Amino acid sequence: MGGVEKKKYERGAATNYITRNRARKKLQLSLPDFRRLCILKGIYPHEPKHKKKVNKGSTAPRTFYLLKDIKFLLHEPIVNKFREYKVFVRKLRKAYGKSEWSTVDRLKDNKPTYKLDHIVKERYPTFVDALRDLDDALSMCFLFSTFPRTGKCHVQTIQLCRRLAVEFLNYVIASRSLRKVGAVVFLSIKGIYYQAEVLGQPVTWITPYTFAHDHPTDVDYRVMATFTEFYTTLLGFVNFRLYQSLNLLYPPKIDGQADVELKPAEGKEYAMDSESYLEKLSALSSSLARVVAPTHEEEVELDEFPVEGTAEQMDARKKEQEALEKHKKLFEGLRFFLNREVPREPLAFVIRCFGGQVSWDKSLCIGATYDVSDPSITHQIVDRPQVQQQVVGRYYLQPQWVFDSVNAKLCLPVADYFPGVLLPPHLSPFVTEQEGDYIPPEKLKLLAMQRGEEPGDASEEEEEEEDSNDKEEEEEEDESEKEEEMKLKKLEEQKTQSNKALPVTVTAGKLRLEDKQRLEQEQQSEEKRLAIMMMKKREKYLYKKIMFGKKRKVREANKLAAKRKAHDAAVKEKKKSKKAQRA
Amino acid sequence: MGQPRGCGARAALTGLQQMSASVSGSSTSVQSLPCPSSGSEELTDSEGSAYSGLQDSGSDSSSSDEEEEQEEGPGGGSVPRTRAKGAPRKRKTLEDDSSLEESKALLAQNEYEEDSSDEEDIRNTVGNIPMEWYQDFPHIGYDLEGKKIYKPIRNKDELDMFLEKMENPDYWRTVQDKMTGADIKLTDEQIDLVQRLQRGQFGDVHFNPYEPAVDFFTHEVMIHPVTNRPADKRSFIPSLIEKEKVSKLVHAIKMGWIKPRKPKDDTPTYYDLWAHEDPNSILGRHKMHVPAPKMKLPGHEESYNPPPEYLLSEEERLAWEQQEPAERRLSFVPRQHRSLRAVPAFPRFIHERFERCLDLYLCPRQRKMRVNVDPEDLIPKLPKPRDLQPFPTTQALVYRGHTSLVRCLSISPSGQWLVSGSDDGSVRFWEVSTARCMRTLPVGGVVKSLAWNPNPSICLVAICVEQSVLLVNPCLGDKLLYGATDQLLESYVPPEEERVQPVRWVTATAEEHGRGIRLLVQHSKAVKQVTWHGKGDYFASVVSDNSNMQVLIHQSSKRWSQNPFRRSKGLVQCVLFHPIRPYFFVATQRYVRVYNLLKQELTKKLMSNCKWVSSMAIHPGGDNIICGSYDSKLAWFDLDLSTRPYQLLRHHKRALRSVAFHRRYPLFASGSDDGTVIVCHGMVYNDLLQNPLLVPVKVLKGHALTLDLGVLDVLFHPTQPWVFSSGADGTIRLYT
């Protein structure tokens, strides 16, 4: 074959990758601009398989992008906008320097802007793709919507984030999609996690607790702002589509009736006209206007298809469906009242999601529908040590009850959640224990309740469990005793053997009972050990790694179990001592 | 014409020139130069003309201006005018309006007068040239008629000059004009000027350099305008043009041609972006795209009120704090709060979001193939050891008696007697079945190696003790048999001519004979291994040496030794005879060399792939070799297959000391420093296409570790599936 011989790094992997700096030069962008472009276009670096080959023999740590990606960026219209913006900034600075205010105004009027619509469409060619990537977008929007409206980032961005977040919450309420099997709201020490099933896709997001942020200094807000810029665009389009799918108006309008009700009462006093809309929307208390007038029979009766399979399967499916339906209407018919010390938004959101009615103090937020004194209130959510004036006919509960009930998919017994009572642990609904994992006893109790056993039984069960545990322990002890016996026997054997050489006395042999099972087990384990010896080096490494992971898991589970046991014992001790004191 | 003349005038005051140049900058004025009455008429004229010439040429350079001023002094007649003329030029800006006008009038007159004297000066017609060119001529240039203009006659010699100097009182103020060659007597004013300039003062006596500065426009705000001009009428009347323009704009607005700028609406507009989902828009890019992994969902420990077992204990918390943030399994400390209102803000919330952002755009993404393998599947499916029986499984007997490490073992071909050599300087003969020590033979040195003669008709044991190999008749078993052996040894007839041998064959003394020793083969250096040929006549010994004398082959019947190798190929570890064919195996540190004894050549070189071979054993079939090495590997060579190991077994945890093959059963064993003997099933098939099957079948334990040594030698019983092992703890164990 003819042709010029190619040099060492002019073919193969080296030509597929490009370093960040070279990519930046190729695009003629500054580093921040390049960063922004990568964020917006979703371009991420790649780790070449043979780094040294790609890095032309050097082992210096470098970031590599795929050359294809960079070529793809080359004809992105936004790149030109970046350059325009750079020119604009230069002009503006010059005008400021010369104090030419009219020029400044003119320039500001003609500030180059860009839209990200096409990028959203390009990155997410189908709607489902967009939904799959919604987690970070939502979390970021919720975070930004809690920022103070000063400094840090543009007020418009914050407002937009707030708007989009509220719109999404409203959608979730309207669609009742916060009903994914077994999951939903989790109060963690970081913030509140939510999970909703939107058109079949689980979407998880986290919101911080409503406190002022202590803004860290080692965080680059420009990067975050760039992400937010993209995420707001994405979320806006997603919201639009979601609202459309429910026949709701977008931007959302509060249902006429409710609107009229609200307006004369408190609208004016509470907020300016321009703001009151968003505020009302964020109250989450009123339903939204639809494009088509809502009919009472919204829910389309699911046609029953003849499903192949046994009757059991059918039954199971039906049961599941029913359970889902029931879960959806968990709070149907209940009327909640939120005291002012509880976090209003998450509670209102969750209660509304499950069909409950919710209200709060008028002065707390716009959109309160009934008063504290309303006799029809069934549950009042309170988060204070004790309630002075209790109204008869309603439960006073701590907010955890709502979340736990939602996660358990049933209204839990209220007794554990009265104000001032030591709360039962709040479990994560995201954990699905597999075999061999540690399951906290509370979870076991919960599972039992879900299966339809009485909560009263649970305590008995617990005791039973304890009993059974004791039995097991006893068994274990028995086993250990046996083992000890065996050991002793072995020792004796050895002794006899050692004694054999010197005195030639024959002692009467003891009848040894051989545990057949045990022998077999031992044999098997030895076989396994021998087989492991014969493994190839690579496979042995892998095997050892896997076994190490498994063993660690078991160890951790055991550790947790032991800890729990110790804790329970300590608690029992305390109780006993208290009882003793009382007596 | 004008310029040369001007230059001429300049040359006239060469002495002054530089001075004046320096003065010129300060733009002094000419306000009142006293008029020198005693100046010569000629000179005056010339100066005047020079000035006018300058005017003509229109040169405005300041230096020429200065010159004019300098030379105005002599030009008596024009003094008042000069003053007037200088003023507007230099200080135009300083004068007020009236003076400006006045000076202008004067200037006009002045110019007019001085023009006339232009053509009269005829003394220098050559122009501004270096005067040296005319040095040798009596004339300088020509006049209008073409006649020479002669220089003034200068024929003064030194004496005349001296006289002149002495007599002429004006000599000091006489200067020669180089241009014309004439002498000029400077006036008092001129001298005064020169002296002032020399002192660095202004040329003008009356000029005061320290006049108070007067601002042209004062810095104070004045109530009156600078110009007192009344405002124009047009400033009171609305502009017609503007009116026209405005009316046009108004009209355009009215007609809707011009619309006011719309206030910019920042709120983004959203629409159904995915209205037309085009399946074609899913490109290769999207298929290649690796979506970012979702954030890990929180577990129970992240709850604000977790179950108590998830809370960290005190020491766990301390350990958490001491870990690097990157190493921690949990990025937070689980905490329990009594109620929801007690939950504080999470201080690292923004950090975590930010880190997520960084992960999204900075982290290389890769599809990681998770090995989803059941670890049980990784374990190779081997035949069950139960199916591979018989093999030794349990410890049956322990042979006690040695007080130090038992280095070597050997067994009689019948399998009835066992011999062992130890560091305590004795060789013991045991009965295998009863573990009874039949004989103890003190040899007075560490026994490195011993080997029972494999020929069943000869009862002879070769023992390495220090520098010699002892051939011992143990006198055990059939009396006929060992008697025959003795006879065989005694039947030796020394050859007629003594041959040169590398070793010395010595017959044992009577005392030694009583103990059983029959022959001594004395080497020059310590012997470390001895091994018999299958026929039982030849034996080989290995000497710890570095030369070619390491391996020696002896013939016991002829008491004859030879050194088969001419050159050393490295430190020999052990040697072996092939059981059937005339091959000889020599193991050096890393290689095993196979020599053909008949052809006397190297047939094969086996790479052991280990660092240091310790021992070697050959399959009774003769086609397979195992090598134990100090880096705890056992290499199985199939000689037909390749020179590299067929399999490298890493069963032991520490160095292998010895390996052995069973003579009948497909078994081999390896003893190691970790105190274990591993018995493996090593099936070799006759079918060449089938590779040997190697299965470990039993790990035998029993030897105690002493001095970091475990099992030193292993040996199979020749007929039974039993294995002996000798250990550093001074015992020999039999496993059956």
pLDDT of residue B252: 94
Chain A positions in Cβ-Cβ contact with residue B292 (cut-off 8 Å): 44, 133, 136
The CA–CA distances, whole Å, from B161 to A75, B99, B157, B292 equal 98, 53, 6, 112
- β-strand partners of B683: B693
pLDDT of residue B241: 94
Size of interface A-B (CB pairs under 8 A): 269
- pLDDT one-digit tens code per residue, B41-52: 333 343 433 343
A182: how many CB neighbours lie within 10 A of its CB?
A: 15
Q: Of the given ranges (A552-561, B456-465, B507-516, B629-638), which has the lowest mean pLDDT?
A: B507-516
CB of B343 less than 8 A from some CB of A: yes
pLDDT of residue A489: 66
For chain B, give the mean pLDDT. 78
What radius of gyration do chain A's Cα atoms show?
33
pLDDT at A219 over 70: yes
- pLDDT one-digit tens code per residue, A46-75: 988 888 888 888 888 889 999 989 999 998
3-state secondary structure of A387: coil
pLDDT of residue A469: 45
Contacts of residues B641-648 at CB distance under 8 Å and 24 or more positions apart, as own/partner, are B641/B691, B643/B604, B643/B605, B643/B606, B643/B607, B644/B606, B644/B607, B644/B609, B645/B606, B645/B607, B645/B608, B645/B609, B646/B691, B646/B692, B647/B694, B648/B609, B648/B610
CA distance B620 to chain A (A): 24
B249: how many CB neighbours lie within 10 A of its CB?
A: 12
C-alpha atoms less than 13 angstroms from C-alpha of B436 in its C-beta half-sphere: 7
Distance CA A335, CA A331 (A): 8
The CA–CA distances, whole Å, from B302 to A9, A417, A535, B667, B674 equal 50, 20, 41, 58, 48
pLDDT of residue B46: 39
Percent of all residues in chain A with a pLDDT value above 90, rounded to a whole number:
21
Distance CA A303, CA A223 (A): 49
pLDDT at A180 over 70: no
Q: How confident is the model at residue B354 (pLDDT cuts 50, 70, 90)?
A: very high
Chain A positions in Cβ-Cβ contact with residue B348 (cut-off 8 Å): 190
Is B380–A531 a contact, with Cβ atoms under 8 angstroms apart?
yes
Residues 586 through 645 of chain B touching chain A, CB cutoff 8 Å: none
CB of B298 less than 8 A from some CB of A: yes
Q: How confident is the model at residue B61 (pLDDT cuts 50, 70, 90)?
A: very low
Partner residue facing B270 (CB), from A237, A343, A529: A237
Please provide residue B118's backbone torsions phi and psi, each rounded to the nearest 5 degrees.
-65, -50
Q: How confident is the model at residue A272 (pLDDT cuts 50, 70, 90)?
A: low
pLDDT of residue B73: 39
Q: How confident is the model at residue B87 (pLDDT cuts 50, 70, 90)?
A: very low
Is A427–B400 a contact, with Cβ atoms under 8 angstroms apart?
no
pLDDT at A209 over 60: yes
CB of B189 less than 8 A from some CB of A: no
Alpha-carbon dihedral sign for residues B547, B553, B557, B558: negative
ipTM surpasses cut 0.90: no
Chain A positions in Cβ-Cβ contact with residue B277 (cut-off 8 Å): 125-127
Burial A346-358 (b: 16+ CB within 10 A, else e): bbbbbbbbbebbb
Chain A positions in Cβ-Cβ contact with residue B338 (cut-off 8 Å): 422-423
Task: Give every CB contact of residue A558 below 8 A, 6+ residues apart in sequence.
Answer: A438
CA distance A170 to chain B (A): 17
B412: how many CB neighbours lie within 10 A of its CB?
A: 22
Distance CA A233, CA A430 (A): 29
3-state secondary structure of A136: helix
CA distance A341 to chain B (A): 7
- β-strand partners of B174: B185
CB of B317 less than 8 A from some CB of A: no
Partner residue facing B363 (CB), from A43, A44, A219: A44
Distance CA B700, CA B722 (A): 12
Closest alpha carbon to B469 in B416, B532, B511: B532
Q: Which two tokens stand for residue A26?
A: 């190729």
Q: How confident is the model at residue B36 (pLDDT cuts 50, 70, 90)?
A: very low
Q: Between B112 and B232, where is the model more confident?
A: B232
Is B339–A423 a contact, with Cβ atoms under 8 angstroms apart?
yes
Q: Between A283 and B645, where is the model more confident?
A: B645
Task: Give every CB contact of residue A152 below 8 A, 6+ residues apart in sequence.
Answer: A215, A221
Q: Which two tokens stand for residue A175?
A: 């669609």
In the chain, the amino acid numbered A420 is G
Q: How confident is the model at residue B696 (pLDDT cuts 50, 70, 90)?
A: confident
Q: What is the mean pLDDT of residues B425-431?
A: 88
CA distance A55 to chain B (A): 16
- Which stretch, A99-103, A407-411, B496-500, B532-536, has highest mean pLDDT? A99-103
Distance CA B555, CA B565 (A): 16
Is A428–B302 a contact, with Cβ atoms under 8 angstroms apart?
yes
pLDDT of residue A92: 95
CA distance B190 to chain A (A): 58
B162: how many CB neighbours lie within 10 A of its CB?
A: 11
DSSP letter for A503, please: -
Residues 644 through 663 of chain B touching chain A, CB cutoff 8 Å: 649-651
Chain A positions in Cβ-Cβ contact with residue B299 (cut-off 8 Å): 428, 430-431
In the chain, the amino acid numbered A578 is K
Q: What is the mean pLDDT of residues A107-125?
A: 90
Distance CA B106, CA B88 (A): 10
Is B340–A529 a contact, with Cβ atoms under 8 angstroms apart?
no
Is A533–B649 a contact, with Cβ atoms under 8 angstroms apart?
yes
The CA–CA distances, whole Å, from A436 to A554, B310, B472, B503 equal 7, 17, 66, 72
Q: How confident is the model at residue A254 (pLDDT cuts 50, 70, 90)?
A: confident
Is B349–A143 a contact, with Cβ atoms under 8 angstroms apart?
yes
- pLDDT one-digit tens code per residue, A11-37: 787 888 999 999 999 999 999 999 999
Q: Between B105 and A95, where is the model more confident?
A: A95
